[in-house]
Structure 1
Amino acid sequence: MILTGDDPAHIAFVKQKLCETFLMTDLGPLRYFLGIEITSQSDGYRLTQQRYTLDLLARSGLTDTRTAATPMELHLQLRASDGTPLPDPSRYRHLVGSLVYLAVTRPDISHAVHILSQFVAAPTSVHYAHLLRVLRYLRGTASRGLFYSRHSTLQLQAYSDATWASSPDDRFSVTGYCIFLGSSLIVWKTKKQHTVAKSSAEAEVRALASTVQEVLWLRSILQDFGILQTSPIPLHCDSTGALQIAADPVKHELTKHIGVDAHFTRCHVRSQTVSLHYLPTEVQHLFMLSKLQTYDPS
């Protein structure tokens, strides 16, 4: 079992009592757990899955030594009908399933894995080719992971984004967000929206509402630990239209069908739970890229 806390004497007491009751072995400080490698340093903790990644590459059957600079091409749109069906889809499903678990410490592949996961029922040669690109990207970045600084502040900040009608098969938009606790990334998600958005602003409003919902949950969790968020939590978005609708929904035909999401966000802006901020697309993407690059200990 894993014991946490900042009181060594109390931790030793709990372990002693447990050993008196159960047959246990003290393995010392946490270094490896369910494929995740934990490294304790003077400035913080690093979480990686390098061993898991190398094992995955060995099982993948890649015969070349090439690497890829990015996990997926920019603005790539894959269709279910692209390519020819794989005669045996089991390898594709196995590799994608492994990537899903690898994304626990690799937010840089989460969007690519989200796209590839949509075709596990009937993968094709094209889907498999893009899966191999992700593996080649991992070959060159196997040591990357997450870093949690000991000196990070305990203030939440969130970033929200959405692609509009990016799925060519059904024209659904995709919500994406990430949330930091100080300088440490603690939550990230890529998910298809439940309904088709009629405009990019609508897709962004829905993404904002999803991000606010996650922020509220994290805020309550931190409160249970005695960490209060005394100031509004900054929420960054690159859509001025979505920010205007969320801050002050206009009552007309173009926005009434997204009124619930808009009013949900607006309610928490008024209560000063969150504060909305505009961040240009290029700045937001460059910021996220620099954050992802800092995860590489090399």
Structure 2
Amino acid sequence: MGNNASLVDTLLQHLSIAFKIRDLGAPSFFLGIETIKTGGTLLLSQRRYMRDLLKRAGMTECKPLATPAAVTQAVSLATQPFENPTQYQRLVGALQYLTITSMDLSYSVNRLYQFIHAPTDEHWGLLKRVLRYVKGTLDLGLRLSRSGSADIHAFSDSD
């Protein structure tokens, strides 16, 4: 993929000498990431992956939330272990993959990862909150657009 077709063709020719390759054309869905072209931008979305994740957690009909974590509520030192730590581990691992296009989940998911070896009922509640946030962000993704400069620009909404 690139903005110079002849350069892309040259690269593919060089690669075909060393490797057996096949051009599959423009990407549409790869490794759980859907690419959607809209005008001059490309949207990377994991909507299908998010729906599958909610289904695995049994939360397809949950109410969405506007934030992935409560700002004012601290994690207490609960001692009641969660009854199914494997489920917690699988879902937190799946959420980690989701941070490719949803960087806003990074802090919350990494916080959940700190308890991966011994999750408690409270940690399960925090995980469910993150999944409710995911439910509310199904239509969001990572937007890539063309730029005339080589400068890197980043935007953040700290609210």
Question: TM-score under structure 1 normalisation?
Answer: 0.48
Match of 1:74 in 2: 71
Instruction: Give the alignment's Cα RMSD to 1 decimal.
Output: 2.4
Find the aligned partners of 1:9 and 1:121 in 2 and give their Cα distance: 51
Cα displacement (A) at 1:88: 2.3
Residue of structure 2 aligned with 1:24, choices 4, 21, 24: 21
SS in 2 for 1:70: coil
Aligned CA distance change for structure 1 residues 130 and 45 (closer, same or farther; 3 Å): same
The yes-or-no answer on 1:288 pairing with 2:157 is yes
1:47 aligns with 44
1:15 aligns with 2:12: yes
Please tell me whether the aligned partners of residues 44 and 143 of structure 2 are also in contact (alpha carbons under 8 angstroms): yes
Separation in 1, partners of 2:145, 2:61: 37
Match of 1:146 in 2: 142
Size of the alignment, in residue pairs?
Answer: 159
How far apart, CA to CA, are the structure 2 residues paired with 1:30 and 1:109? Answer: 25
Aligned equivalent of 1:86? 82
Matching residue of 1:37: 34
CA distance in 1, matches of 2:80, 2:89: 16
Is 1:125 matched with 2:121? yes
Distance 1:63 1:54, change over 3 A: closer
Change in CA separation of 1:104 and 1:21 when aligned onto 2, cut-off 3 Å: closer
Query: Could you tell me how far apart the structure 1 residues matched to 2:122 and 2:11 are?
Result: 54
TM-score, normalized by length of structure 2?
Answer: 0.85
Confirm whether residue 100 of structure 1 aligns to residue 83 of structure 2. Answer: no
**Relative to 1, partners in 2 of residues 1:11 and 1:103: Cα closer, same or farther, differing over 3 Å?**
same
Structure 2: tracts of 5 or more residues without a match? none
* 1:137-172 deviation digits (Å, cap 9, x = unpaired): 1112112111122137543xxxxxxxxxxxxxxxxx
The whole-number CA distance in structure 1 between the counterparts of 2:12 and 2:129 is 46
Long gaps (5+) in structure 1:
156-180, 186-286, 291-298
Do the aligned partners of residues 74 and 43 (structure 1) sit closer, same or farther apart at CA in structure 2, a change above 3 Å counting?
A: same
Is the Cα contact below 8 Å between 1:68 and 1:133 reproduced in 2? Answer: yes
Q: CA deviation at 1:107?
A: 1.5
1:128 Cα deviation (Å)? 0.2
Q: Displacement of 1:15 after TM fit?
A: 2.6
Give every structure 1 segment of 4 or more consecutive aligned residues whose post-TM-superposition deviation is greater than 6 Å: none
Residue in structure 2 matched with residue 56 of structure 1 by the alignment: 53
Q: Is the 8 A contact 1:45 1:147 kept in 2?
A: yes
**Cα contact 1:71–1:137 (8 A) shared by 2:** yes
Maintained 8 Å contact 2:36/2:42: yes
Identity %: 36
Matches within 5 A, 1:145-294: 145-151=141-147, 153-155=149-151, 181-182=152-153, 184=154, 288-289=157-158
Kindly provide the amino acid, as one letter, of the partner of residue 113 in structure 1.
V
Say which structure is richer in strand.
1
Q: C-alpha separation between the residues in 1 aligned to 2:35 and 2:60?
A: 30
